[in-house]
C-alpha cells in the first residue's frame, strides 16, 4: 500500500500539469462580407437619334445604365473601307465629363447601292453609383481609322499631299521602298527652316485619318 502512494501522487501531478495547459482551439475563419448594395439598371426612354456632322451620319441606337456603367450602342457611316472606330468620346453629367471609355464592335453592314457601309460599336463609361443622370449627354468627338503601313501610300498620301498644298506648306511626299523593300510614305522635301520632327508631326497628324464631330446626344437615365 505504501508503494502505491508515490505512484498516485505522481499521477495527480501529471493530470494537474495537463489540466494547466488545455488544448488550444483553432482560430475561427472570418468569412468575407458581401456587398449587398444594389445598383440601378435604367434604360433611356428616348428613341433612336440621328445626327449628321461633317457629312457623316452617327446614330445613338439605345443607352442604358447597368450598375456603375453607362452603355450606349452607336452606329456610324463608314468613310471608306478602313477599320474605322470611335476615336474620341466623352459622357457628361452634373458638371463632370468622363473621357475614358471602352468600345467593342457589335456589327457591320457592307456598302450597297452606292451608299456607305455602317459600323456599330458599344461604348461604356464608368460613373459613380450616386451620379445624377437625369440630364446627361453622350458626345462622340471623332471617329478614326489608324492607317496600316501599306495604306499610307495607297490611301492617305494623296489626301495628305492635297491638304499640304491647300495650306501652302511646302512639304513633298513620295512612296519609296524602305530597308526591307516595303513601300512607305516618306518626306522627300521640306522647308529648310522646318525640322524633320515638325514635318513629321504635320504629315502624320491624326486629322488625316479621323473625321471630326462632335455628334452630341441627350441621355436621360435618372438618379
**In degrees rounded to 5, what are phi and psi of residue 200?**
-65, -35
* 128-139 pLDDT, tens digit each: 888 888 889 999
Which CATH class, in words, describes the domain spanning 41-146+210-219? Answer: mainly beta
The reported pLDDT for the residue numbered 72 is 94
Q: What is the pLDDT of residue 67?
A: 84
Q: So where are the chain's domains?
A: 41-146+210-219, 151-208
168, burial (CB in 10 Å: exposed 0-12, middle 13-18, buried 19+) = exposed
Question: Which of the residue ranges 5-14, 116-125, 178-187 would you say has the lowest mean pLDDT?
Answer: 5-14
The residues near 48 (Cβ < 8 Å, ≥ 6 apart) are: 59, 60, 61, 62
- For the cut 90, the answer to whether the pLDDT of residue 42 exceeds it is no
Check residue 152 and give its pLDDT.
82
Q: How far is 39 from 58, CA to CA, in rounded Å?
A: 30
Amino acid at each position: 500500500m505504501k508503494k502505491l502512494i508515490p505512484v498516485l501522487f505522481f499521477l495527480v501531478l501529471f493530470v494537474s500539469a495537463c489540466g494547466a495547459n488545455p488544448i488550444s482551439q483553432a482560430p475561427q475563419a472570418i468569412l468575407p462580407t458581401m456587398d449587398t448594395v444594389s445598383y440601378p439598371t435604367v434604360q433611356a426612354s428616348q428613341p433612336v437619334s440621328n445626327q449628321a456632322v461633317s457629312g457623316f451620319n452617327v446614330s445613338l441606337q439605345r443607352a442604358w445604365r447597368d450598375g456603375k456603367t453607362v452603355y450606349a450602342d452607336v452606329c456610324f457611316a463608314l468613310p471608306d473601307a478602313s477599320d474605322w472606330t470611335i476615336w474620341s468620346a466623352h459622357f457628361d453629367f452634373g458638371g463632370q465629363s468622363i473621357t475614358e471609355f471602352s468600345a467593342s464592335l457589335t456589327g457591320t453592314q457592307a456598302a450597297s447601292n452606292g451608299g456607305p457601309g455602317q459600323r456599330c460599336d458599344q461604348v461604356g463609361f464608368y460613373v459613380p453609383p450616386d451620379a445624377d443622370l437625369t440630364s446627361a449627354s453622350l458626345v462622340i468627338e471623332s471617329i478614326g481609322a489608324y492607317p496600316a503601313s501599306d495604306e499610307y501610300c495607297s490611301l492617305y498620301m494623296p489626301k495628305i499631299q492635297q491638304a499640304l498644298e491647300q495650306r501652302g506648306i511646302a512639304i513633298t511626299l513620295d512612296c519609296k521602298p524602305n530597308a526591307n523593300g516595303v513601300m512607305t510614305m516618306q518626306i522627300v522635301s521640306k522647308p529648310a527652316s522646318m525640322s524633320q520632327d515638325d514635318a513629321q508631326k504635320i504629315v502624320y497628324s491624326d486629322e488625316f485619318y479621323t473625321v471630326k464631330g462632335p455628334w452630341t446626344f441627350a441621355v436621360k437615365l435618372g438618379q
